[in-house]
Amino acid sequence: MKKLIKTLLAISVSLAVILALFLYWPLYQRAAPPAENEEPVDVVLIGGGIMSVTLATYLQELAPDWNVHLFERMDAVALESSNGWNNAGTGHAGFAELNYTPEREDGSIETSRAVNTAEQFEISRQFWAHQVEQGRLSTPSDFINPTPHMSFVWGDDNIEFLRKRHAAMIKNPLFYGMEYSEDPEQISQWAPLVMEGRDPAQKVAATYMPLGTDVNFGVITSQLTESLQRNPNFQLELNHEVRGLDQNDDKTWNVTVHDLKADTERTIKSRFVFIGAGGAALKLLQLSGIPESRNYGGFPVGGQFLAFESPEITARHEVKAYGKAEAGSPPMSVPHLDARKLDGKPVMLFGPFALQSTKFLKDGSWFDLFSSVNHNNFAGMLSVGRQNLDLVKYLVQQASLSDADRHAELLKYFPEANPEDWKLVTAGQRVQIIKLDSQKGATLQFGTEVVSDADGTIAALLGASPGASTSPPIILNVLAKVFPEQMAAGWKDRLNAIIPSYGRTLNDSPALTNEIRRHTSQALQLPHVDVPEQSGNVQAPPMETTAAEEGDNREFQAL
């Protein structure tokens, strides 16, 4: 008996030691070479995606003399989440995303998140329009195209929800022009593939917003990077992976990078570090050791889409048709049938289908999730797992889907689809935020969040959708949070040239909405609708073309 007790005690101690090593080892900082530069550079950007490049582009105008270094682990920028094939390409403006407008207990519709998203996307449009005017982005149709956004539902309850949603949304100037219909013929004109072959007895409803867009964030990232490289103070280093972050006594940072081709390591000192590395941002934030990093964990979810490239099919679908997540499914499961423009040609995607993975990046490691777990977030992550059993169940179900199962889901939105016409493509990885709150405890969040230290010397961007669509306003928040002195000393005034509506709200003013949208529609070659002084008209007005649209049929696909 004593021998058994000793054995069990030894096993318990061994397990405790192993658990302690597992939970504390990820935060261990190994030895690194000393910094090669005595005078620190101004900014180090980690990750060659749209977030880092957007920040660098802002700084190019606000502080052109600053020395900026960008490190990317792959051999080109925009190969992970920013790549066109790795995301839905939706210019998220709240037009069709039904999960942005939940129904309250009293039956009314909550519109604040959709309105806020629309406000943010208007900032993105202004930022991109400015870059076109400055020659940093080329022909707008290379990266943004008019693609109406449509919500499509069936069943009495869902139809009633969509009717109420439409009535609530069109009270806002930013959503003026949105149409609603329960007429199958009208819906068929908007999206013929969605209606052809559908049971005539099935009740359906749809909203249609002609001002929607399809955006290729990979093209934006690549073109802005090319522009940045014309500045001698900007340096891009590809095939370089950041493996160490250590803060010095003077609040500067030693950033240790590994040259993946030469298999060498060096350290560069910087005044400010921005972690815009997508899914890898969480682990790098933890590596920094700042107190704020202890409040976060991450849950990775991959995605897959069914892709159609046949011209006979893609030519007949020119909208992004969003559905409603089925009961018990998480927000990330909202199905949508998307018109896209990728690699210079029309493509149609349907999905997403969740993909179980422990990777934080599409090109990451299977150990990413495990290495992000430590003594700070271990209990919180377990708690979130217990609270989100519906998400766990959903992922298990998704993992068991066959091609026939995926096709069955597709038929709900494309009744005459043939299995031979599509291929399964794997998109990028999302890492959903698990945030530890002193009052709420650990919660799973579906969105993006900027995390910085108290001194404003380092910042990281965590989370997912709407992500890339709202990268310009997100980076504005970064600038305000970590560079308050520079903002007060003149940056705010310069930002007004980049974002004419900076500091103002469009949705409160039809006149301002018209002024800003006319400008961005002209620059980006997008259709435009004037909002009347008295908004709330449920009928969409005739579309007005801008001078840039005349003579170019591509710009009328949204009409």
Mean pLDDT, the chain, whole residue set: 88
57 neighbors 274 (Cβ within 8 angstroms): no
Q: Residues for the chain: how many in total? A: 559
Is the pLDDT at 555 greater than 50? The verdict is no
The number of beta carbons lying within 10 Å of the beta carbon of residue 408 is 11
Q: What is the mean pLDDT of residues 510-539?
A: 86
| Dist. CA 290–CA 273, nearest whole Å | 12
Cα(248)–Cα(361) distance, integer angstroms:
29
What is the residue-wise DSSP string for 41-92? EEEEEE--SHHHHHHHHHHHHH-TTS-EEEEESSSSSS-STTSGGGS--B--
pLDDT cut 90: percent of the chain above it:
68
Q: Structure tokens of 103? A: 């129904």
DSSP string, 408-426: HHHHTT-TT--GGGEEEEE
Residue 387 has what pLDDT? 76
By CB atoms closer than 10 A (0-12, 13-18, 19+), residue 259 is middle
Count CB-CB contacts under 10 A for residue 157.
Answer: 11
pLDDT in tens, 83-132: 999 888 999 999 999 999 999 999 999 999 999 999 999 999 999 999 99
pLDDT-based confidence at residue 526 (cuts at 50, 70, 90): very high
pLDDT surpasses 80 at 480: yes
Q: How far apart are CA 300 and CA 209, in angstroms?
A: 32
Instruction: Indicate whether 25 pLDDT > 90.
Output: no
Instruction: Report the sign of the C-alpha dihedral through residues 205, 207, 210, 216, in that order.
Output: negative
pLDDT tens figures, 396-438? 788 889 999 999 999 999 999 999 999 999 988 888 888 877 7
What mean pLDDT is predicted for residues 263-267?
96
Query: Computed from CA positions of residues 500, 504, 506, 512, in that sequence, does the dihedral angle turn out positive or negative?
Result: negative
Distance CA 183, CA 241 (A): 55
| Euclidean distance between CA atoms 47 and 32, whole angstroms | 20
Q: What is the pLDDT of residue 21?
A: 46
- Higher-pLDDT residue of 18 and 485 is 485
Q: What is the pLDDT of residues 447-472, one digit of tens each?
A: 788 999 999 999 999 886 668 999 99
Top-confidence residue, 369 or 14 = 369
User: Is the pLDDT reported for residue 537 higher than 60?
Assistant: no
Residues 6-25 have a mean pLDDT of 52
Q: What is the pLDDT of residue 540?
A: 45
Q: For residue 261, count CB atoms less than 10 angstroms from its CB and return exposed for 0-12, middle for 13-18, buried for 19 or more.
A: exposed
Residues whose CB falls within 8 Å of the CB of residue 494, separated by 6 or more in sequence, listed in order: 61, 62
Per-range mean pLDDT, top range of 66-70, 274-278, 385-389? 66-70
- CA dihedral in degrees (284, 288, 289, 291; nearest 10)? -90
232 torsion bin: left (phi>0), alpha (psi -120 to 50), beta (else): alpha
Angle at 47 between CA 41 and CA 48, to 5 degrees: 100
CB within 8 Å of 72: residues ≥ 6 apart: 47, 48, 236, 237, 238, 239, 240
Residue type, 223: Q
Residue pair 412/289 in contact by the 8 Å Cβ criterion:
no
Answer yes or no: is pLDDT of 68 > 50.
Answer: yes
Is 70 exceeded by the pLDDT of residue 140? yes
- Report how far residue 232's alpha carbon sits from residue 497's, in angstroms, rounded to the nearest whole number: 23
Residues 6+ apart with CB under 8 A from 407: 306, 417, 419
Instruction: Identify the three-state secondary structure at position 373.
Output: coil
Q: Is the pLDDT confidence value at 289 over 60?
A: yes
User: Is the confidence at residue 559, as pLDDT, over 50?
Assistant: no
- Of 11-25, 377-391, 425-439, the one with minimum mean pLDDT is 11-25
φ, ψ of residue 352 to 5 degrees: the values are -90, 160
Per-residue H/E/C for 437-472: ECCCEEEEECCEEEEECCCCCEEEEEECCCHHHHHH
> What average pLDDT score do residues 185-202 get?
97
Q: Which residues contact 547 (CB under 8 A, 6 or more apart)?
A: 522
Q: What are phi and psi of 159, to 5 degrees?
A: -65, -45
Is the per-residue pLDDT at 209 higher than 60? yes
Q: CB neighbours (10 Å) of residue 108?
A: 10
pLDDT at 219 over 50: yes
- Contact yes or no for 251/185 (Cβ under 8 A): no
Write down the pLDDT at residue 534.
Answer: 67
pLDDT in tens, 305-340: 999 999 999 999 999 999 998 765 666 678 999 999
Q: For residues 536 and 100, what is the distance between their CA atoms, to the nearest angstrom?
A: 20
d(CA 48, CA 225): 9
